[in-house]
Amino acid sequence: MTYPIDDIRADFPILSREVYGRPLVYLDNAATTQKPRAVVEAIAQEYYSVNANVHRGVHFLSQQTTTLHEEARERVRAFIGAQSVSEIVFTRGTTESLNLVATSFGETFLQEGDEVLLTVMEHHSDIVPWQLLRERKGIVIKVIPMNDAGVLDMEAYERLFTPRTRLVCVAHVSNVLGTVNPIARMAEVAHAHGAYLLADGAQSVPHFKVDVQALGCDFLTFSGHKIYGPTGIGVLYGREALLEQMQPYQGGGEMIARVTFEKTTYERLPYKFEAGTPDYVGSHALAAAIDYVEGIGMDRITAQERELTKYAMARMADIPGMQLYGTAPDKDAVVAFNVKDIHPLDLGTLLDRLGIAIRTGHHCAQPLMARCGVEGMARASFALYNTKEEIDTFVAGLERVVKMF
């Protein structure tokens, strides 16, 4: 079946605008994706027709909004293959989901001297919360290395385990290198050592089918805004048995069963971790985004994006002075690079004047930058609406910039 690229692009009005008098070429999708009409319309429809606070209201609008919110939770559950809606916690995004685990899992399960394994390619949001916990509780952080292609050293990974290892945290897909890490294999190793595994799915869930049961992970996080949904909504999947034992992350309304000045008892899962009014409009819009990508088909999206990635890397490799980072087999829709001695900021600024949007800097992965021996990189990242013609425009822009130096 032919990939319906024209119909898809028509669903994203922003793609038809111009920047500096040139057609927009948006290649910053790893930072955030653009939104289809169906998602924006879902937001407007809820605010205009249904808006009311959820769960505690007895009136019609509150009941209707609550239904939409909980239907969205079921939609997420089915999308990632969780066993129960009790395992789906709505958060503000991947960062809050990771902080929730670091705080609640950390306070419940980790003691001084216990070990958490991180990879060298982790996003700062999966490094700093564990460092904060280290300051509070004296845990030990160990780092899983990688080779020059951006592939994790699995033998070194297995050697890092000791009887004190409690948790492994790993990006399912590197936001810089595009490496797709072997979560199922890593989870199997972790479980064999009596440890748990958390997968950061921010860069995987938007690009290919993710099934938490098949992966065997104990936690999975992802953000709505990276999968064509709104900002401010995210998901934490956690095994029900673990979430049951973990302490609440925040206190207040929604997460309580009963409060007295002497004692508070907590709500059942998943509400124990959802203090305050949830982003019920965001959850409804996230469900619309999931409907959208599944309407296209995750397998078709994966094939389209992988083809674009291979095409881009092949075209870019011919540019004099090009340095590509991350050459793992079957890498995902991200290409990080530097050219000659051109500063990434200068490169990104000059491409922007040509209407081409890329990301530059350390990409919230400074330890990875250090491993690669650079301060920063430029990054082009692809989504379901990008085309080979846009990559041709991008490469032509790169060639034009390179000739200036």
Q: Determine if residue 250 is left, alpha or beta; phi over 0 gives left, psi from -120 to 50 gives alpha, anything else beta.
A: beta
| pLDDT at 384 > cutoff 90 | yes
Determine, yes or no, domain membership for 23.
yes
Radius of gyration of the chain (CA): 22
- The answer to whether position 35 is within a domain reads no
User: What pLDDT score does 56 carry?
Assistant: 84
Same domain, yes or no, for 305 and 288? no
- Same domain as 314, residue 220: no
Domain encompassing residue 270: 41-294
**Residue given tokens 């609440």 in the structure block:** 248
Average pLDDT over residues 32-36: 98
Q: What is the pTM of this model?
A: 0.97
Q: What is the CATH number of the domain that holds 153?
A: 3.40.640.10
Based on the domain organization, do 203 and 306 belong to the same domain?
no
**What's the mean pLDDT when you consider all of the chain?**
97
What CATH number does the domain containing 373 carry? Answer: 3.90.1150.10
Q: Identify whether residues 100 and 230 lie together within a single domain.
A: yes
My answer on whether 283 and 161 are in the same domain is: yes
- Measure the CA angle with vertex 360, ends 324 and 208; round to 5°: 65
- 1 has a pLDDT exceeding 80: no
pLDDT the model gives residue 164? 98
pLDDT, tens digit, for every residue of 269-310? 999 999 999 999 999 999 999 999 999 999 999 999 999 999
Of the listed 169, 217, 364, 372, which one is catalytic? Answer: 364
Beta bridge partners of 322: 339
pLDDT tens figures, 182-235 = 999 999 999 999 999 999 999 999 999 999 999 999 999 999 999 999 999 999
User: Annotated catalytic, 364?
Assistant: yes
Question: In this structure, which amino acid lies at residue 230?
Answer: P
Q: Which helix (H) or strand (E) holds 165?
A: strand 165-171
Q: Is residue 36 part of a domain?
A: no
Q: Kindly state whether residues 202 and 301 are assigned to the same domain.
A: no
For residue 183, the model assigns a pLDDT of: 98
Q: If we measure between CA atoms, which residue out of 22, 16, 18, 48 comes closest to residue 34? A: 16
Is 379 inside a domain boundary? yes
Same domain, 369 and 225: no
Q: Rounded to an integer, what distance in angstroms lies between the CA atom of residue 261 and that of residue 349?
A: 57
Task: Give the pLDDT score at 263.
Answer: 94
User: Does residue 61 share a domain with residue 21?
Assistant: no
Tell me which of 259, 277, 294 is where a domain ends.
294
Domain count, the chain: 2
Segment 33-49 shows an average pLDDT of 98
Could you tell me which residues are beta bridge partners of residue 325?
336
| DSSP string of 334-361, one letter each residue | EEEEEETT--HHHHHHHHHTTTEE-EEE
Mean pLDDT score, 113-120: 98
Cα–Cα–Cα angle for 381, 341, 399, nearest 5°? 55
* Angle at 122 (CA atoms; ends 116, 127), nearest 5 degrees: 50
User: Which residue, 264, 294, 324, sits at the end of a domain?
Assistant: 294
Residue 207 pLDDT: 98
Burial pattern 268-306, b for ≥16 Cβ within 10 A else e, equals ebbbbbbbeebbbbbbbbbbbbbebbeebebeebbebbb
The set of residues, in sequence order, having a beta carbon less than 8 Å from that of 69 and lying 6+ positions away, is: 54, 55, 278, 280, 283, 284
Same domain, 250 and 207: yes
pLDDT at 176 over 80: yes
Residues 89 and 158 in one domain: yes
In this structure, the chain runs to a length of: 405
Please name the helix (run of DSSP H) or strand (run of DSSP E) that holds residue 185, with its range, or none. Answer: helix 183-192
Within a domain: 306: yes
Please identify, among 278, 294, 310, the residue that sits at the C-terminal boundary of a domain: 294
Asked, for residue 56, whether it belongs to a domain, the answer is yes
The CA-based angle 280-203-68, given to 5 degrees, is 15
The pLDDT assigned to 170 comes to 98
Residue 50: is its pLDDT beyond 90? yes
Residue 339: pLDDT band with limits 50, 70, 90: very high
pLDDT tens-digit readout, 66-86: 999 999 999 999 999 999 999
The answer on 284 and 322 residing in a single domain is no
Q: Check whether residue 287 and residue 268 sit in a common domain.
A: yes
